[in-house]
């Protein structure tokens, strides 16, 4: 499958990495895509759900730090963060409806590896790891694809709208949208 790399290169969060070395950054994205393509389809479905939750939580936390007009209260923001951290620590998503989503061990290992890259990038301020995290993140969006993300977004809206609010569910959707728009409608 080919993607609209020019469209991807205009996304604010990753634009500087394409500008710095387009071919190398594209190669890192493609590397992570090949690794993700080894993951079983049902595990990819679950990865899409956790990714939508993470993105929505990120938008929620960022909105609070910026003191956005629609930001959640301190208590609501803390509750969202703690719940999502719990999902990551436990490698399981507990849905308010009572169902739990667990991952197989190889997916858990992948999640631990990505979490380490994230922590190195954003907690330890390692610039090369920030670039690597964004390469993985982009590969994640592209590999999981439009349908999985649409289904995951609907599930997250249904199950977690009370936690994040309609506003931040939509902010998460808007964050993901430019990546999905770079995926061709007809993969053939």
Q: Where are the domains of the chain?
A: 12-180
Q: How confident is the model at residue 63 (pLDDT cuts 50, 70, 90)?
A: very high
Q: What is the mean pLDDT of residues 133-148?
A: 96
Does 188 score more than 70 pLDDT?
Answer: no
- The proportion of the chain whose per-residue pLDDT surpasses 90, expressed as a percent, equals 96
CB under 8 Å to 130, separation ≥6 — which residues?
A: 121, 122
Supply φ then ψ for residue 93, to 5 degrees. -105, 115
Does 101 score more than 50 pLDDT?
Answer: yes
The region that residue 17 occupies, defined by phi over 0 for left and psi between -120 and 50 for alpha, beta otherwise, is alpha
Q: What is the mean pLDDT of residues 22-50?
A: 97
Does 1 score more than 70 pLDDT?
Answer: no
Average of per-residue pLDDT values in the chain: 95
Report which DSSP code applies to 125: -
Does 14 score more than 90 pLDDT?
Answer: yes
Closest CA to 139 of 39, 43, 26: 26
What pLDDT, on a 0 to 100 scale, did the predictor assign at position 184?
85
Q: What is the mean pLDDT of residues 119-141?
A: 95
What pLDDT, on a 0 to 100 scale, did the predictor assign at position 2?
84
What pLDDT, on a 0 to 100 scale, did the predictor assign at position 186?
54
Contact 152, 86 (CB under 8 A): no
Indicate the pTM of the whole model: 0.93
What pLDDT, on a 0 to 100 scale, did the predictor assign at position 156?
98
């Amino acid at each position: 499958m080919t993607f609209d790399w020019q469209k991807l290169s205009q996304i604010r969060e990753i634009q500087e990495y394409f500008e710095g070395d387009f071919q190398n950054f594209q190669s890192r994205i493609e590397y992570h895509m090949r690794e993700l393509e080894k993951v079983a389809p049902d595990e990819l479905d679950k990865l899409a759900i956790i990714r939508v939750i993470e993105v929505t939580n990120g938008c929620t936390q960022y909105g609070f730090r910026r003191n956005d007009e629609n930001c959640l209260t301190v208590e609501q923001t803390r509750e969202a963060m703690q719940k999502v951290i719990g999902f990551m620590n436990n490698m399981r998503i507990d849905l308010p409806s009572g169902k739990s989503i667990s991952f197989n061990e190889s997916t858990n290992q992948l999640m631990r590896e990505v979490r380490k890259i994230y922590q190195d990038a954003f907690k330890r301020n390692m610039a090369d790891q920030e670039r690597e995290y964004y390469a993985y993140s982009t590969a994640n969006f592209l590999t999981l694809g439009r349908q999985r993300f649409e289904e995951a977004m609907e599930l997250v809206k249904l199950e977690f709208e009370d936690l994040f609010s309609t506003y931040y569910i939509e902010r998460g959707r808007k964050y993901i949208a430019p990546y999905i728009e770079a995926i061709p409608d007809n993969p053939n």
